[in-house]
Structure 1
Amino acid sequence: MPPDLSGGPRADDRTGRFEEHRPHLRAVAYRMLGSISEAEDAVQEAWLRYDRTDTGDVENLGGWLTTVVGRVCLNLLRSRAQRREDSLESRIPDPLLAREGVVDPEQEVLLADSVGLALMVVMESLSPAERVAFVLHDLFAVPFEEIAPLIEKTAAATRQLASRARRKVQGQAPAPDRDLARQRVAVDAFFAATRTGDLDALLAVLDPEVVLRADGYAGGASRGVVLTGAATVAGQAVMFRSLAPYARPALVNGAAGVVVIGADGRPVSIMAFTVVDGTIAAIDVLTAPERLDALDLSAFRE
C-alpha cells in the first residue's frame, strides 16, 4: 500500500480528512493528466465519490483516495484519446512554474520530486492503461495488485504494461542532471550564444542528438513541431535571437528553464530544458497564445 496519509483531523470530520489528502491527490492527477485544470477536476470528482461512500472501514484512506483518483484519471485519458486527432508525441503538458528560490506553498507538493516536462511529454504518447500503471507504480509506489482492477488487467499484465511504459520513457526522456546550478549554467550558455548568433557556442552546449519539441508556434499557426539534431536546433535558435534578451529565469517542473516576456509585457513562450552531463538534451517549448494567457505569469513580469 502507498503511505497512509490519514490522521490529523478527527475521524468524523470528513471534509477535513479529505483536504489533508488534497495536495497529494493533485500531484497524482497532474502527473497522470498533464493538465492543471483537469487535475483539479479529477480531485473534485474524487471528493464527490468520497462524499457518497462510507469509508468507515477503510484503513488507509490515502491509498483508497489515490486509487479513486486513478480511476477518474483513467476515464479522462480514455476520453481524451478517443476525441484527439492530433499527434500526442509533441504535446506540451501544462508547465509547473516557479521563480528560482521562490516557491508558492500551494505548488510545493506538485514540485516536490517533480517530473520534468520532457518526461511528461513522453508520457503523453503512452496508452491510458500504460500511463496509469506507470504513474501509480513508478511514481507513487502503488502495488500492481491494487492498480490491476482499475485497468481491468491481471497483476502480471499490469506489471508488463508498466515495464513497457518504463522502456518508452527511459528511451525518450533521459534522466536530467540533478544539480540545478549545473543546469542553469547550460541554459545561460545557450541564451548567451543565441543572443550573439554564435553557432559554434550553441553546438558546444547542445547534445548532438538534442530534440526540440514545440506545441504551437507564434500565433498558434503551427503545432506539433519536433526538431532533432544540434545543427537544426542551433539554426532555429539563431532565427529567434531577438527574443533572447527577454528570457527570464524560471523553474519549469523543478528544472532550469525560462519564461519569455516580450517588450509589450505579453508572454511569448515558456521553455523547459533537460540538461544531461552538462549539455542540453531536450528543449520543450510552449508558445500557443491561448495556453500562455491561461497561466499566471505575473511573478515573471516584475
Structure 2
Amino acid sequence: MDSAAVDRFEASRNRLASLAYRLLGSAADAEDAVQDTFLRWQATDRERIEVPEAWLTKVVTNLCLDRLRSAQARHERAAGAWLPEPLLEGDPMLGPADTFEQRESVSLAVLTLLERLSPVERAVYVLREAFSYSHAEIAGLLDIIESASQQHVHRARTRVAAERRRGGRADPAAARRVVEEFLAAAASGRTERLVALLTDDVTAVSDGAGLSSRLLRYRTRERVASYVRIGFRMTPAKRRLAGGSPAFHIAVVNGSPAVLAVVGSRVVGAVAFGIGDGKVAALYGIAATERLTRLNDAWRQYAPDAPVAHSW
C-alpha cells in the first residue's frame, strides 16, 4: 500500500477510534476495530472507493455492530459485569466535544444507558448525535431506510433525555466543588454529611475491583453513603491489593468530574460522578485493572494537581 493510502487512513484514525469507542465502550475493543478496518482498507481496491471517509465509517461501524451482536459480547454484558472503560480528559479517543450532545454522548452515564438499546439504535444515536450524520447518510451506512433511522434516534433520545432530567447539567467549577465536599464528607466518617450531598434518587454502581462476577448496585441515599464510606476506608487487605496507600486526585473522566486513587504513578481506581442540582446523582466506580489500562497510559503523561486527600 502506498504512503498516500496510509496517510489517508491515518487522517481518519482518531475519528474512527472515537466512533468505535462510543459504540463499544471499550478502548481496547475500539482499537481492535480500527485495526481491522485498516486491514480491510489495505486489502480492498481503493480505486473503486468514491468517498473514503464514508467507506471507512461504514466498515468500522459494522465491525462494531458485529462485535456487539456476538454471543460472547451479549453474554458478558447481559451478565451484569460490564461498565464502560473510563478515559482521561484530553484522550483523542473521546473525539468531538464542540457541542453538548457530543460531550454527553461519551459520558459514562450515557454509555451505560446505551447498553439498553439495540446495537442498531446505539449506532444511529452515536452517528447522529456525536458525528452529525444526516438520516439519509446513516441509512446508507447501516443499510436501513431513512425512516427507520429517524425512529431509532427518537427512541434513543427519549431514553437519554430521561437520564438528563434525573442528573441535570452542572457547571464544571460547581461540579468540582461538590466532589471536594463529597471527599471531605467521606473522610469525616459522618454518614449524615454524605447523605446530605446525595440526591433522593442517587444510584451507585461498581465493578467490585474486578473481584465480583456481577456489578454491585446501590440505591437510596443511606445505602450509597454506606457504600462510599466502606469503599474509601483503607484496610490492610486493600493496601495489599492496591500496592500501597493511595492519594486521591480530582480529574475529569469522560467529561465528568472524577476521583482517581493513585499509588505511586499508577491509578488503581476511578470514581466518576454525575452531578445534578448541586448534589451527587450518580457514582460509577471502576477498579478492575484491565479497565484502567488506557487511563493509566494517559496518567503517566498527565500533569495532575496536588492530591486533595490521602487514604485515611
TM bucket (normalised to shorter chain) is 0.7 to 0.9
Residues 182, 248 of structure 1: alpha-carbon distance in 2 compared, 3 angstrom cutoff:
same
The 5 Å alignment of 1:269-280 reads 269-280=269-280
The 5 Å alignment of 1:37-186 reads 37-56=28-47, 58=49, 60-79=51-70, 83-84=74-75, 87=78, 91-98=82-89, 103=90, 106=92, 109=95, 113-114=102-103, 115-174=106-165, 177-186=169-178
Deviation per CA, 1:152-171, whole angstroms, max 9, x where unpaired?
43221222122112222222
Residues 54, 137 of structure 1: alpha-carbon distance in 2 compared, 3 angstrom cutoff:
same
Q: Give yes or no for contact 2:259–2:271 (8 Å, CA) kept in 1.
A: yes
What corresponds to 2:23 in structure 1?
A: 32
Unpaired segments of 5 or more residues in structure 2? 235-244, 308-312
Deviation at 1:194, TM superposition (A): 0.6
1:150 and 1:88 map into 2 onto residues whose CA distance is 30
Deviation at 1:277, TM superposition (A): 2.6
Q: 1:13 aligns with which of 1, 4, 29?
A: 4
Residues 271, 111 of structure 1: alpha-carbon distance in 2 compared, 3 angstrom cutoff:
farther
The structure where helix makes up a greater share of residues is 2
Deviation at 1:120, TM superposition (A): 1.0
Residues 69, 289 of structure 1: alpha-carbon distance in 2 compared, 3 angstrom cutoff:
closer
State the TM-score, normalized to the length of structure 1: 0.81
Deviation per CA, 1:225-282, whole angstroms, max 9, x where unpaired?
22122222112112234259732212111221011135x8764421111112321111
Q: Give yes or no for contact 2:58–2:142 (8 Å, CA) kept in 1.
A: no
Residues 25, 180 of structure 1: alpha-carbon distance in 2 compared, 3 angstrom cutoff:
same
2:131 and 2:81 map into 1 onto residues whose CA distance is 25
1:181 and 1:66 map into 2 onto residues whose CA distance is 36
Kindly indicate whether residue 207 of structure 2 is the aligned counterpart of residue 236 of structure 1. Answer: no
1:123 and 1:254 map into 2 onto residues whose CA distance is 17
* Count of aligned pairs: 285
Residues 163, 204 of structure 1: alpha-carbon distance in 2 compared, 3 angstrom cutoff:
same
1:294 and 1:138 map into 2 onto residues whose CA distance is 25
Q: Give yes or no for contact 1:134–1:162 (8 Å, CA) kept in 2.
A: yes
1:163 and 1:293 map into 2 onto residues whose CA distance is 35
What corresponds to 2:194 in structure 1?
A: 202
Unpaired segments of 5 or more residues in structure 1? 1-10
Question: Percent identity over the alignment?
Answer: 35
